[in-house]
Structure formats: structure tokens, C-alpha cells
């Protein structure tokens, strides 16, 4: 049977109308699943929210439930009929709530969700739960429960800040022409030369006690610097951002066995100022982004968790700082002798002495620095073209240097420390198309300590690893 054009048009129109009606009915039956952060900025929506209960208040006329899903510090208030109350609806329980988002009459909140349905997805016994509803737990207490501390406001804020700071670091380097290099976690190099390495060995027995899986001893990396230097032979600006490891037997507030480092290398430079400019700009841009995107989370730390104690000054002589625009540093130490390394107390004192603000310290004694650091050849002091960025509350945040590009000087230094054979490949970098270059590394956890005022580095990383502790 043949249909006329008008009949075919009518049938097609009918099909479209049926489809639209079906879609409307489906949408009405399946309200949108939105995050709390999204719901707090809108009204008039039929929405479905999933999260964890932060508080329950049952009154004669209404039931009030605060629900948070980790998307922001603020919770969404649910208003429901007392009939929707459930004995399993307790602090810490996981819920799914369906209802209408409406403007709130309460001055401290813009919106609230008028619940039509509340379903307890996962129950939580508040008596056994280690975090209590009306208590502000210390970071030290929270640290005892690494598998649960993400449920607290403090650690939820920390993870959001950490995520935004990570994004900001990558964005800064991308916008400034740095190539992102995935440097290896397994390496045969001891970049720092301190010997604090985790050696890697297979868990199964080897055929011979002298046999290595990689044919050479292999370790977890302490720095991606040497691999970045390889890449400066073809890229003028490179960086890496990943985990590093130190087998330092320390449980201090400043050290971890596993932590994250931001490291960068810049080719075609003979100036420490080129490095300090990148350090300063990255610090400012990252911090501005975090403050813009996580203002409430940062404020939580500054209000309740920031360490406001003054640094303890030990029995060291006064550190002498030049008044020049880019001051070199001389440390008097206890015997007033040039060449002593800076301790944490020195670093904190310097920051305080300079007005409790970040300060760059340059031109360290040459003998204190690794083999790759450029020799200033400024006898008799004999300094290295190295720089540290010291910040309030933490001390050293960034450390960097110009790298020795002069083949004869580098070879002599490697011979002096007995590493010429081990680093013959490093000498090749100077033989084939070498350029003056330099770089730096920033401890990411120390950066978070600095901007949040957190005293212990173990409180700014999701799963801290340190000597005699590897939970989970």
C-alpha cells in the first residue's frame, strides 16, 4: 500500500511526538545524579544525590540530614518528613536521596533538598566509628586510621587541595613550554649520592646469589634529575612530577620514605636567576589557583590546624646575610668556620630574620654539593652555583643548581669521588651537543605544608610511608 507524502509526513511527526513523550517520562522517572558541589549552586531541580551522612537531626515536624560526597567542604542539607527516618540513618552511613532542590530560608545556606525518598546504602554504627559527630579530632588522631581518615572534613579538604595543586603544577609547566617526561621509578643511579636507597630485588629466589634481575643493582629513584638532564639534549625545557624514595631511618616531622617531587630542567642558561624565576613563578601561580578553587578548604586548615609556634633557635651563631639584591649566604656555625651545612633551625631562623617570607639562599660551599653542581671557581671560598628556596614553617622547599657542563671539570670531579666508570654515560652528555643548563626540585608535600601551615608532613599525603610504618 502506497502512502501519500502528507501521510508519510504525518506518520513521521507522530513517531517524533511519541519519542519526545517517552524521553520526558524517562527523564521524570530518573532525576539527574549531581554532586553536592553542583547542587549547592542551583534550584528548581529534581535531583538524586549520593553521599555520606555528616549529621542527623530529628524534630517533630521535620528530619534534617547533612550529606557530603567529597566534592566540596560544605554539606547539602536534606529536609524530609519524619516518616522517612530510618534506624540505619546515622552519622557515617552512606545514603542515596531523591527530591527537589529548593531555595533555603536559612541564612547560612543557599539551597536545601526536599527529600521524597531516602535509601540507606551502607550502614555505619556510630559507636564503633572512630570519628564522632561533634568532636574536632586532631591530625595526629586522624593519622591512626589511614583507611578511614578520608571521611573527615580535614582530610577531605587536604585531598581536594592536593588535587587542585597537582593540576596547577602541570598547567603551569604546559603553559610555559615544558615537556612532561615520565622519568623511571626503577633506576641504577644514586642521584643525590647520599646512599639512602631502597634496593630492588625479586621476591622469588635467584639462581645465583650474585645474579641481579637487571644485571646491575637497581633502586627506587631518589630523583628524576639525571634522566631529565638526558632529555635536555633535545628539549630546552622539561619537567617530571612523580614519586621518589629515600631509605632514611627517620620519623621526624619533615621526612617520608615515599614522597612526590616536582623537578624541572632548563637548557641554555648560565644564570641562577633563571631558575629562581621559574621556582617563584610556579609557587605563586600554583598557590593562586589553590586559593581561588579551594578557599574554604584552605581556610579550614588555617583556622583549626595551622601550627603557629615560633621556630626553636638552637645554640648557633648568627647567620650572616649580604645586603646585596641577590645575597650569597655565609653560615657562621658553632665555630664560625665557612663550609658548614645548614640545619633546619638555620633555615627557619633565616626565614624569620628576613621578615617571615620566602627567601632564596645561593652559592653554597662547593664540597657540600653533588658532583653535577657547577663550580663557581671563586677561590678561596670555592662555592657552587646552587640555590635553595626557604619558606616559613618548613625550611627548604626547593633545591636547585646550575649543572656542570664543562667536560674536564666534571670528569675531574667524578674521578675524585670514584664514579667515573659509573657515570660514563653522563660524560657523554657533555661530549655530544652539550649546553649550559640547570634545574631544581620541589617537595610537593612540603609545599602543601607551607601553604596550609601543617606541622607534620605525614598529614599532607594520603598514605604516609616512613621507617617502621607501612600501613595498607
Q: Write out pLDDT tens, residues 214-234.
A: 888 899 999 999 999 999 999
Average pLDDT of 448-453? 94
> Residue 436 belongs to what domain range?
149-459
Confidence (pTM): 0.84
Residues 199 and 235 reside in one and the same domain: yes
Name the E strands within 268-328. Answer: 320-321
What would the mean pLDDT of 107-116 be, rounded to a whole number?
A: 90
Query: 281, 172 in Cβ contact below 8 A?
Result: yes
Supply the mean pLDDT for the chain.
85
Distances (CA, A) of 240 to 196, 244, 436: 21, 11, 20
Beta-ladder partners of 102 = 112
- Asked if residue 155 belongs to a domain, the reply is yes
Whether the CB-CB separation of 104 and 77 falls below 8 Å is answered with: yes
Q: Domain ends where: 100, 129, 158?
A: 129
Give CA–CA dist 304/306, Å, rounded.
Answer: 6
Question: For 159-177, how does the pLDDT look when each residue is reduced to its tens digit (9 = 90+)?
Answer: 999 999 999 999 999 999 9
Cis peptide bond upstream of 380, omega within 30: yes
Q: How many domains does one find in the chain?
A: 2
- Of 65, 94, 129, the position where a domain reaches its end is 129
Q: What mean pLDDT comes out for the span 24-39? A: 72
Cα–Cα distance, 99 to 174 (Å, whole number): 42
Same domain, 117 and 156: no
Q: How far apart are CA 397 and CA 182, in angstroms?
A: 22
Q: What is the pLDDT of residue 88?
A: 95
Q: Enter the C-alpha cell of residue 269.
A: 642558561
Alpha carbons 206 and 84: distance in angstroms, whole number: 63
Based on the domain organization, do 220 and 256 belong to the same domain? yes
pLDDT greater than 50 at residue 324: no
161 and 102 in a common domain? no
Specify the CATH number for the domain of residue 75. 2.40.50.140
Buried b (16+ CB within 10 A) or exposed e, 318-349: ebeeeeeeebbbbbebeeeeeebebebebbbb
DSSP state of 179: E
Residues 159 and 116 placed together within one structural domain of the fold? no
Q: Once rounded to an integer, what is the mean pLDDT over residues 252-259?
A: 90
Q: Is residue 330 a part of any domain in this protein?
A: yes
Is residue 22 in some structural domain?
no
Percent of the chain residues past pLDDT 70, beyond the cut = 84
The reply to whether 87 and 157 lie within a common domain is no
92 vs 455: CA distance, rounded Å: 28
E strand or H helix at 10: helix 5-29
Q: 241 and 180 share a domain? A: yes
pLDDT tens digit sequence for 384-393 = 999 999 888 8
Is pLDDT above 70 for 472?
A: yes
Q: What are phi and psi of 258, to 5 degrees?
A: -130, 125
Alpha-carbon span 438 to 270, nearest angstrom = 8
190 & 281 share domain = yes
In this structure, the answer to whether residues 270 and 382 fall within a common structural domain is yes
Amino acid at each position: 500500500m502506497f502512502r501519500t507524502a502528507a501521510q508519510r509526513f504525518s506518520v513521521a511527526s507522530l513517531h517524533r511526538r511519541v519519542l519526545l513523550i517517552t524521553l520526558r517520562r524517562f527523564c521524570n522517572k530518573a532525576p539527574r545524579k549531581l554532586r553536592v558541589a553542583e547542587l549547592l549552586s542551583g534550584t528548581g531541580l529534581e535531583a538524586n544525590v549520593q553521599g555520606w551522612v555528616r549529621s542527623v537531626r530529628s524534630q517533630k515536624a521535620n528530619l534534617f540530614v547533612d550529606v557530603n560526597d567529597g566534592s566540596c567542604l560544605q554539606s547539602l542539607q536534606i529536609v524530609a518528613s519524619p516518616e522517612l527516618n530510618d534506624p540505619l540513618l546515622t552519622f557515617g552511613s552512606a545514603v542515596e536521596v531523591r527530591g527537589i532542590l529548593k531555595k533555603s530560608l536559612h541564612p547560612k545556606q543557599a539551597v536545601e533538598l526536599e527529600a521524597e525518598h531516602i535509601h540507606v546504602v551502607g550502614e555505619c554504627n556510630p559507636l564503633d566509628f572512630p570519628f564522632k559527630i561533634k568532636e574536632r579530632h586532631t591530625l595526629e588522631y586522624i593519622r591512626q586510621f589511614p583507611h578511614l581518615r578520608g571521611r573527615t572534613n580535614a582530610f577531605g579538604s587536604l585531598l581536594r587541595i592536593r588535587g587542585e595543586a597537582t593540576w596547577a603544577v602541570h598547567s603551569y609547566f604546559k603553559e610555559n613550554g615544558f615537556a612532561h617526561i615520565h622519568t623511571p621509578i626503577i633506576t641504577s643511579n644514586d642521584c643525590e649520592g647520599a646512599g639512602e636507597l631502597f634496593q630492588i630485588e625479586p621476591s622469588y629466589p635467584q639462581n645465583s646469589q650474585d645474579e641481579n634481575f637487571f644485571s646491575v643493582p637497581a633502586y627506587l629513584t631518589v630523583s628524576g634529575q639525571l634522566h631529565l638532564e638526558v632529555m635536555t639534549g633535545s628539549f630546552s625545557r622539561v619537567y617530571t612530577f612523580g614519586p621518589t624514595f629515600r631509605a632514611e631511618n627517620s620519623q621526624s616531622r619533615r621526612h617520608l620514605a615515599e614522597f612526590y617531587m616536582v623537578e624541572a630542567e632548563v637548557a641554555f642558561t648560565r644564570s641562577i636567576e633563571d631558575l629562581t624565576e621559574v621556582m617563584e613563578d610556579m609557587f605563586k601561580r600554583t598557590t593562586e589557583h589553590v586559593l581561588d578553587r579551594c578557599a574554604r578548604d584552605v581556610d579550614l586548615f588555617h583556622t583549626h590546624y595551622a601550627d603557629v609556634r615560633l621556630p626553636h633557635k638552637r645554640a648557633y651563631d648568627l647567620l650572616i646575610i649580604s645586603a646585596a639584591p641577590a645575597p650569597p649566604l655565609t653560615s657562621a656555625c658553632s665555630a664560625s668556620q665557612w663550609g658548614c651545612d645548614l640545619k633546619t633551625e638555620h633555615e627557619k631562623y633565616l626565614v624569620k630574620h628576613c621578615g617571615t617570607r620566602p627567601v632564596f639562599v645561593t652559592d653554597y660551599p662547593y664540597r657540600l654539593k653533588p658532583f653535577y653542581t657547577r663550580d663557581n671557581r671563586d677561590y678561596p671560598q670555592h662555592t657552587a652555583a646552587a640555590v635553595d628556596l626557604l619558606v616559613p614553617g618548613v625550611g627548604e622547599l626547593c633545591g636547585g643548581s646550575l649543572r656542570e657542563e664543562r667536560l674536564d671539570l666534571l670528569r675531574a670531579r667524578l674521578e675524585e669521588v670514584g664514579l667515573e666508570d659509573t657515570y660514563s654515560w653522563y660524560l657523554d652528555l657533555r661530549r655530544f651537543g652539550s649546553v649550559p643548563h640547570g634545574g631544581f626540585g620541589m617537595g610537593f608535600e612540603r609545599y602543601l605544608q607551607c601553604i596550609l601551615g601543617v606541622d607534620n608532613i605525614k598529614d599532607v599525603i594520603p598514605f604516609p610511608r616512613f621507617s617502621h610504618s607501612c600501613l595498607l
